[in-house]
Amino acid sequence: MHLAYLRDYHEALVIELARTRPAIERGTVAEATGLTPQAVSKVLARLVQEGVIAPAGVRRPALGKPAAVYRLVPESRWAVGAHVTRRALRLVLVDLAGQVHASAATPLPADFSPAQLLAELTAGVAALSAGRTLTGVGIGMIGPLDQARGTVRDAHRLRHWHDVPLAALAGEALGLPVVLDKDVTAGVTAEAWRRGASFRDAALIMVESGLGAGLWLGGAVHRGTHTNAGEFGHTVVQLDGPACVCGRRGCLEAVHDAAADPAAAAAVLGTGVVNLLQTLDLGHVVLAGADLLRHGEIYRAAVAEAVRTQVPRADWLTVEVSLTGLGTDAIAAGAAMQVLNARYGLPAPSVG
C-alpha cells in the first residue's frame, strides 16, 4: 500500500476522532484506531504542525504518567458549500467541525444558464470567504447528474443544462477543488455528519421546486451505478395522474405539486415515503427543503402518521421522522462537508 495513502489515512482517523470528541490523547487514539502509540505520536505531531489540532493541556490521572491532551482546531480549515435551486443560489461557510459560520442567498434568473450561475458563484464565494483560505467548494445541484464525472445531465426544468461539466467549469472559475453532487445527496451527508454512527440507513427527503431523496445506506452514501440515485420524485404513484416534467405521468412530484393545500401535499408525500420504506427498510427519514419547511410541522406529522398507519407492523419496523436541524442551509452545508471529507475524512466509498 502506498505510503502517502497510509499517511493520509492515519491522519483522517485522528481527525475523525478529534471531530467527534471534545479532546483526545495518545492512548485513547491508539485504542480507538488500532494504531500503535508510536504511530499516533507521529500523526499528532504532523497535525499540530499543520495547525489542524492543538495542545489542550495535560491530564493527570491518579495512577500513571500525565498525558498530553489535544483538541481539533475547527477554524484551521474552511470550505464553502453551494446549493443550486431553480430560483436561487445559497452559500454557506463551514469549518472543519462542520459548523456553519455564515450564509448568503442570491436570486438566480429564471431558466439560468451555466455562465450566469458561475458568475454568481464566483462572486458569492469570494465575498463569503474573504480573508480565509479555502480547502475547496462543494456544489449540491439539481439532477439528474453524473457525480462521478462532475457533469449535469439535463437538469429538470432548466433548458441550458445538457451535459454541462459543472465541476470542471467551477474549478476553473474559482481556482479551487470542486466537489459536485446531487442536492439531496449533499443534504443526507450533512445529516450523517451531525448524527454519527446511529444514522446508518436513512433518507433525506427534500421538497424545493422539485422532490428528491438522498440515500444513506449501510453507513455510507448511496449514489447508484450511474451516480444518479435519488430521483424519488419521479416514481409513479398515480397511473392516470398529471403530466410530469420528466415526461411521465403521475409521478410523486407531479401529484404532490397538484395537491390542493399543504396538508394534502404532505399526505401525498407520506404515501411516497412509505413506498420508499417498504423498499429499503430505513430507520430515519429527515425532511428538508425550503418549500417543505415553510409548513414543516404539517409535513412531519403527515409523514409520521403515514408511517404509523400504512407500514405493516409499524410497532416493529420503527422509523424516526424528523425535520432537518440545519434549516434551509442543509444542502449547502452538506456540500461543504463533502469537500472537507474528501481532503480530511476517512475513505468512505458509496455503497452503490
Per residue in 322-341, pLDDT (tens digit) is: 999 999 999 999 999 999 98
- Supply 76's cell numbers: 484551521
pLDDT tier for residue 352 given thresholds of 50, 70 and 90: low
Per residue in 156-180, pLDDT (tens digit) is: 889 999 999 999 999 999 999 999 9
Count of helix runs (H) and strand runs (E) in the chain = 11, 15
- Residue pair 204/221 in contact (Cβ under 8 Å)? The answer is no
What are the E-state strand segments in the chain? 24-25, 53-59, 67-72, 78-84, 88-95, 100-107, 134-141, 145-146, 151-152, 178-182, 202-207, 211-217, 220-222, 284-288, 320-323
**Structure pTM?**
0.91
Domain architecture of the chain: domains with CATH = 3-72 (1.10.10.10), 76-186+330-344 (3.30.420.40), 194-325 (3.30.420.40)
- pLDDT at residue number 348: 52
Per residue in 34-91, pLDDT (tens digit) is: 889 999 999 999 999 999 999 998 887 777 788 899 999 999 999 999 999 999 999 9
Radius of gyration for the chain, computed over Cα atoms and rounded to the nearest angstrom? 22
On the question of pLDDT at 257 being above 70, the answer is yes
